[in-house]
């Protein structure tokens, strides 16, 4: 089954908007945490997004994979950088991470080829 990662983001966003209405303080705090975690410091935004993409692979999170594949592309990562980052996730996550690593590369390609 091939996943359309743009559609996956749209599906999640639809309900995230609803969550913002239902639990505004929680969603605002989560957004602030994400902003703080991904702000440039000793590591630049691209490096942090590569880490997030690798973690998405290791924890098998389809939605995370979609967002971070999009964000790592926007941050200017190359396909080789994505491959090497998910290679670390494969080492950490074993066989199941190989499947998600392939999906991460596919998701990156979808955003890169649009």
86-90 average pLDDT score: 93
Residue 114 has pLDDT above 90, yes or no: no
Determine whether domain 43-114 maps to CATH 3.30.1390.10.
no
Contact call for residues 77 and 52 (beta carbons, < 8 A): no
pLDDT for 54: 96
Contact call for residues 103 and 64 (beta carbons, < 8 A): no
Kindly report, as residue ranges, where domains of CATH 1.20.1290.10 are found in the chain: 43-114
pLDDT for 38: 93
77: confidence class by pLDDT, cuts 50, 70, 90? very high
The pTM (predicted TM-score) of the whole model is: 0.85
Task: List b or e across 50-82, with b for residues whose CB sees 16 or more CB atoms inside 10 angstroms.
Answer: bbbbbbbbbeeeeebbbbbbbbbbebebeeebb
| Distance separating alpha carbons of residues 23 and 12, to the nearest angstrom | 16
Q: pLDDT (tens digit, 9 = 90+) per residue, 35-71?
A: 999 998 999 999 999 999 999 999 989 999 999 999 9
Query: Residue 2: exposed, middle, or buried by beta-carbon count in 10 A (0-12, 13-18, 19+)?
Result: exposed
């Amino acid at each position: 089954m091939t996943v359309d990662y743009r559609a996956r983001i749209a599906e999640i966003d639809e309900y995230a908007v609803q969550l913002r209405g239902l639990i505004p303080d929680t969603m605002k705090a989560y957004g602030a945490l994400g902003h703080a975690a991904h702000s440039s410091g000793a590591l630049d935004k691209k490096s942090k997004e590569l880490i997030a993409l690798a973690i998405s692979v290791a924890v098998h999170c389809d939605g995370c994979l979609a967002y971070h594949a999009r964000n790592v592309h926007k941050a200017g990562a190359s396909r080789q950088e994505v491959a090497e980052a998910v290679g670390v996730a494969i080492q950490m996550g074993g066989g199941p991470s190989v499947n998600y690593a392939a999906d991460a590369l596919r998701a990156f390609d979808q955003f890169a080829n649009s």
